[in-house]
């Protein structure tokens, strides 16, 4: 791919329409487990009818449209329908519980929410009725919520009827109320620098912040991610990662749409279904975090499936062990697999390996900067750029840097400096060839199997528990997930708690993956001379406390 190609000053809707015009009869969306298939022309019909239906409901340019759902077919339809009418798709983590959803709906000023019936042990319908009891008595489209004054509409992703909610078939049926001219006028009013996507990510303060991403941000990032995999209209890529993450909706969907590729989507991660999808659809690419690839490689039926069609894909989310990469290349035929590194605030990818990089680059680095992006490593003390081989903070500047955090100019200013450099908070080293290696985190973030977990959020939650005087959450190394959550607790005098009490307090209130896997009661924390807690020493301590961890 020619890395001197210019950036695209187009909206996502314009890029989508261009691809539909080029490849109308090519497969666009496939779900193997339910034999759901759409060509690009059929996909466009769904998108346009849904977009017009949203306009008929009264959804205006700039309104947030939350989606709390697994990777159901309507997810990607909504991604483009909202983009074409200038709404902002607000992605909601499927693991969220009541308190987390309440915070997101409130802080984002969300006007619209699409949801499914539930996921794992969380009933989404009951949760929304608990938070918005007015839904059960209000007239649809005239919601007046005391707790969420901005919330106007709740829509169920399916045909089933629930009190106070619209259904997706009703939305499509409403499309007849909006003319083609009105629809086109709305699209003509959009600018590629408008916000089109908002994703919540926690910072070092532990309170989630809404990252505002524009058409220009994610469309161009998706183009170059796909270009570095040599994606084209003949490619079919299996996508088992969550769409609410940038991994799914940008590295996946935006890359595929830019290059006319087919997306073979899984509603949720299932190694057996991944293998069946790859074989049945003759997929040329596969995405996943290292733990997903490990689950496929170690599946007892692995050798019964045909992976000969595979060529490329992306492994991201956490460091890849060399032996896993070698197996993926040799046993899954993914000779051109790439590694990506990024963060939501950068749309998200900063660096990516290239298809023919050697095994060292693909396991010991996260590649080099994407075209049109500047990536540097700076000294934490002076802010000056460091030469190759020296560790410092990773920073990026260019088209992919977010517009800012929603309603949080202070946090935005702390993250993006006056010269436009986005400070990642991650520590890294650049080699002579400008390949980046991530060596640690300036922030205390824990990465568990590709999920970002911020200790302060869990600490703030557990401070509510009777008997706890102080708590520090730190990473505990794990063979399976890379890192697990460890809680180091100082109890009040006379308090009598067991580790299971801490875990039970969390259940049903915060996401399962955030619940401390390990709990240790401690008398004091390791401190610096200036009184700061040394979390890295807690991590070191964990290896002695739990030598049999997995």
Answer whether 151's CB lies under 8 Å from 132's CB: yes
Q: What are 491-500's pLDDT values in tens digits?
A: 988 999 999 9
- Last residue of one domain, picked from the residues 228, 250, 268: 268
Q: How confident is the model at residue 206 (pLDDT cuts 50, 70, 90)?
A: low
Is the pLDDT assigned to residue 529 strictly greater than 50?
Answer: no
Cis peptide bond prior to 167, omega within 30° of 0: no
Do 531 and 431 share a structural domain? no
Do 19 and 146 share a structural domain? yes
Q: Region 307-336: what's the mean pLDDT?
A: 91
pLDDT at 442: 65
pLDDT at 323: 81
pLDDT at 532: 57
Note whether residue 7 is domain-resident: no
Do 378 and 243 share a structural domain? no
Note whether residue 64 is domain-resident: yes
Do 235 and 94 share a structural domain? yes
Note whether residue 330 is domain-resident: no
Q: Region 467-488: what's the mean pLDDT?
A: 90
Residue 262: strand pairing partners: 236
Query: What is the domain count for the chain?
Result: 3
Helix (H, G, I), strand (E, B) or coil at 360: helix
Is the pLDDT assigned to residue 321 strictly greater than 80?
Answer: no
pLDDT at 397: 98
Q: What are 340-379's pLDDT values in tens digits?
A: 999 999 999 999 999 999 989 988 899 999 999 999 999 9
pLDDT at 530: 38
- Last residue of one domain, picked from the residues 252, 268, 284: 268
Is the pLDDT assigned to residue 441 strictly greater than 70?
Answer: no
The structure tokens 């992605």 sit at 91
CATH number at residue 482: 3.30.300.30
CATH number at residue 395: 2.30.38.10
Do 501 and 415 share a structural domain? no
Note whether residue 300 is domain-resident: no
Which residues are CB-contacts of 492 (< 8 A; sequence separation ≥ 6)?
467, 468, 469
Note whether residue 361 is domain-resident: yes
Do 417 and 494 share a structural domain? no
CATH number at residue 22: 3.40.50.12780
- Last residue of one domain, picked from the residues 221, 251, 268: 268
Do 476 and 360 share a structural domain? no
Q: What are 212-250's pLDDT values in tens digits?
A: 999 999 999 999 999 999 999 999 999 999 999 999 999
Do 427 and 498 share a structural domain? no
Do 89 and 231 share a structural domain? yes
Note whether residue 277 is domain-resident: no
Q: Region 195-205: what's the mean pLDDT?
A: 77
Do 477 and 344 share a structural domain? no
Closest by CA position to 157, among listed 143, 175, 169: 169
Answer whether 166's CB lies under 8 Å from 155's CB: yes
Q: Region 159-182: what's the mean pLDDT?
A: 97
Note whether residue 57 is domain-resident: yes
**pTM score, two decimals?**
0.85
Q: Region 153-168: what's the mean pLDDT?
A: 96
Measured CA to CA, the distance from residue 317 to residue 332 in angstroms comes to: 20
Do 217 and 115 share a structural domain? yes
Answer whether 52's CB lies under 8 Å from 69's CB: no
Note whether residue 127 is domain-resident: yes
The residue segments making up the domain with residue 58 are 12-268
Do 152 and 25 share a structural domain? yes
Q: What are 530-547's pLDDT values in tens digits?
A: 345 788 889 889 988 888
Mean predicted lDDT score pLDDT of the chain:
93
């Amino acid at each position: 791919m020619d890395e001197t190609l210019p950036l695209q000053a187009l909206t996502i809707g314009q890029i989508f329409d261009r691809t539909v015009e080029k490849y109308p009869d090519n497969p666009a969306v496939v779900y193997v487990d339910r034999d759901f298939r759409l060509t690009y022309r059929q996909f466009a019909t769904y998108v346009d009818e849904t977009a017009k239906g949203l306009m008929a409901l009264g959804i205006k340019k700039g309104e947030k449209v939350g989606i709390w759902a697994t990777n159901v077919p309507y997810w990607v339809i909504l991604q483009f329908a909202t983009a074409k009418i200038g709404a902002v798709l607000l992605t909601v983590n499927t693991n969220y519980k009541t308190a987390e959803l309440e915070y997101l709906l409130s802080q984002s000023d969300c006007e619209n929410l699409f949801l499914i019936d539930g996921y794992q042990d969380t009933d989404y319908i009951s949760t929304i009725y608990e938070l918005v009891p007015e839904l059960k008595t209000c007239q649809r489209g005239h919601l007046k919520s005391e707790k969420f004054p901005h919330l106007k509409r709740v829509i169920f992703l399916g045909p089933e009827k629930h009190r106070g909610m619209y259904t997706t078939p009703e939305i499509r049926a409403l499309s007849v109320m909006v003319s083609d001219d009105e629809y086109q006028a709305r699209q003509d009013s959009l600018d590629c620098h408008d916000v089109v996507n908002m994703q919540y990510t926690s910072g070092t303060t532990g309170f989630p912040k809404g990252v505002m991403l524009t058409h220009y941000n994610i469309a161009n990032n998706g183009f170059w991610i796909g270009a570095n995999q040599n994606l084209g209209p003949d490619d079919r890529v299996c996508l088992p990662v969550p769409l609410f993450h940038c991994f799914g909706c940008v590295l996946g969907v935006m890359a595929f749409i830019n290059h006319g590729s087919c997306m073979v989507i899984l509603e949720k991660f299932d190694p057996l279904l991944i293998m069946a999808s790859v074989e049945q659809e003759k997929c040329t690419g596969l995405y996943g975090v290292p733990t997903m690839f490990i689950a496929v490689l170690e599946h007892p039926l692995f050798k019964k499936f045909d992976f000969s069609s595979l060529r490329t894909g992306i492994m991201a989310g956490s460091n890849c062990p060399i032996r896993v990469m070698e197996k993926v290349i040799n046993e899954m035929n993914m000779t051109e697999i790439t590694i990506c590194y990024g963060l939501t605030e950068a749309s998200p990818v900063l660096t990516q390996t290239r298809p023919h990089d050697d095994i060292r680059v693909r396991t010991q680095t996260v590649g080099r900067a994407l075209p049109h992006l500047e990536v540097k490593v700076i000294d934490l003390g002076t802010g000056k750029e460091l030469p190759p081989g020296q560790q410092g903070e990773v920073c990026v500047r260019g088209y992919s840097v977010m517009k800012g955090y929603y309603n949080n100019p202070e946090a935005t200013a702390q993250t993006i400096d006056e010269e436009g450099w986005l400070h990642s908070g991650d520590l890294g080293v650049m080699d002579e060839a400008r390949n980046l290696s991530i060596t640690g985190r300036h922030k205390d973030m824990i990465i568990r199997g590709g999920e970002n977990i911020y200790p302060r959020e869990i600490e703030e939650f557990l401070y509510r528990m009777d008997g706890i005087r102080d708590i520090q959450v730190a990473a505990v190394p794990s063979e399976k997930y890379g890192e697990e959550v460890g809680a180091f607790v100082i109890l009040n005098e006379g308090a009598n708690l067991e580790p299971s009490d801490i875990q039970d307090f969390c259940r049903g209130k915060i996401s399962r993956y955030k619940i401390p896997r390990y709990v240790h009661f401690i008398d004091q924390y390791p401190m610096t001379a200036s009184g700061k807690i040394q979390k890295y020493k807690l991590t070191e301590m964990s290896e002695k406390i739990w030598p049999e961890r997995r």
